[in-house]
Amino acid sequence: MKPSEQKKYSDIYAKERKKINSRLESAFSKREPRSLYKPSSYIICGAGKRIRPLLVLLTAKSVGGKFDVAYNAAVAVELLHNFTLVHDDIMDNADKRRGRLTLHKKYNESTAILVGDSLLSVAYEFLLKDCNGNSKNILISFTNGLVEVCEGQGLDTEYERRKNVSLDEYLLMIKMKTASMIKMCCRIGSTLGGGSKEEIKGITSYGLNLGIAFQIQDDLLDITADEEKFGKRIGGDLLEGKKTYLLIKALEKAKGEDRNALLKVIDKKGIKINQVNKYKTLYEKLNVIDDAKNLINYYTKRALKSLYVIKNENDRKILIWLADILLKRNN
């Protein structure tokens, strides 16, 4: 892709991100009680990349629609996304999100739970503003996405209690917990834009496969990223004993002492902070970092192949560009 094209797409992203941020900032500014909506503003005004709302806008345009038909839906999916983050942080007892204190740490757990619920409620308010003749399909897509996210979180919680989790089980979980949201954004956008059944199907497939690649990349960043840019503690998944792609793949390949060391991560429900580099070295030895990169490339190619349904080359290219920056990110 030419540098001039990359610059053009980057400018569109920046412009639309600014518009989304403006709408998000005003979403809670005049609502009462402030004891609920001030914390809501805190979480929603964090330094999010706004990828999901951008996907709604870009996929609406890719099938011949305009951004204007989807701004409220774009806000809705970002509110839904933040609802999941608030509750995830409570369940994980996380200290930081996007480099700032998580909501339950800044306020308290009860406030965070209620704020999460309010984000979901207000998300439906915004979504309904863009629902016209296709309201049933939009609401079904949004609700199915929410159901799948909750089911994926349920599987994730179940896997925490189990000693053995297969790669197939893990991939099923991330399809639901992470990829279903990105898939839903693409389905809603292409539906609002007036896409045909074939266009909606292809663009939805793009979202699903991109979402899987995105989560595996997140697993990879947890051990390879720069902590300051990542906004979270490096090696956090190992510290918590989480069964990520890297750990499951490493257990699949390791033998002898290496396998025993990996099993200790699960048996002891995590490692000490001074052991992170040891396990990173073990991952490198077992080549699972490269395995992760190869799987990311596999799902990315599947995502991009699905974009054949988009007739306009420029609309197709910006979605290719977006996939590229998502999978080359450092946070």
For residue 75, the model assigns a pLDDT of 97
Domains of the chain by residue range: 3-326
In angstroms, rounded to a whole number, what is the distance separating the alpha carbons of residues 42 and 46? 7
What's the pTM value of the predicted model, to 2 decimals?
0.92
* C-beta atoms surrounding 37 within 10 Å: 19
For residue 245, the model assigns a pLDDT of 96
Q: Are 173 and 255 in contact (CB under 8 A)?
A: no
In angstroms, rounded to a whole number, what is the distance separating the alpha carbons of residues 45 and 34? 15
For residue 56, the model assigns a pLDDT of 98
Which CATH number is 3-326 given?
1.10.600.10
Give the model confidence (pLDDT) of 215-274 as tens digits: 999 999 999 876 666 556 678 899 989 999 999 999 999 999 999 999 999 999 999 999
| CA angle in degrees (0–180, nearest 5) for 124-118-135 | 5
For residue 38, the model assigns a pLDDT of 92
In angstroms, rounded to a whole number, what is the distance separating the alpha carbons of residues 77 and 181? 8
For residue 232, the model assigns a pLDDT of 61
For residue 330, the model assigns a pLDDT of 62
- For the chain, list the strands marked E by DSSP: 96-97, 100-101
For residue 135, the model assigns a pLDDT of 86
* C-beta atoms surrounding 1 within 10 Å: 11
Hey, what are 298's tokens? 């596999």
Query: For the chain, which ranges sit under pLDDT 50?
Result: none
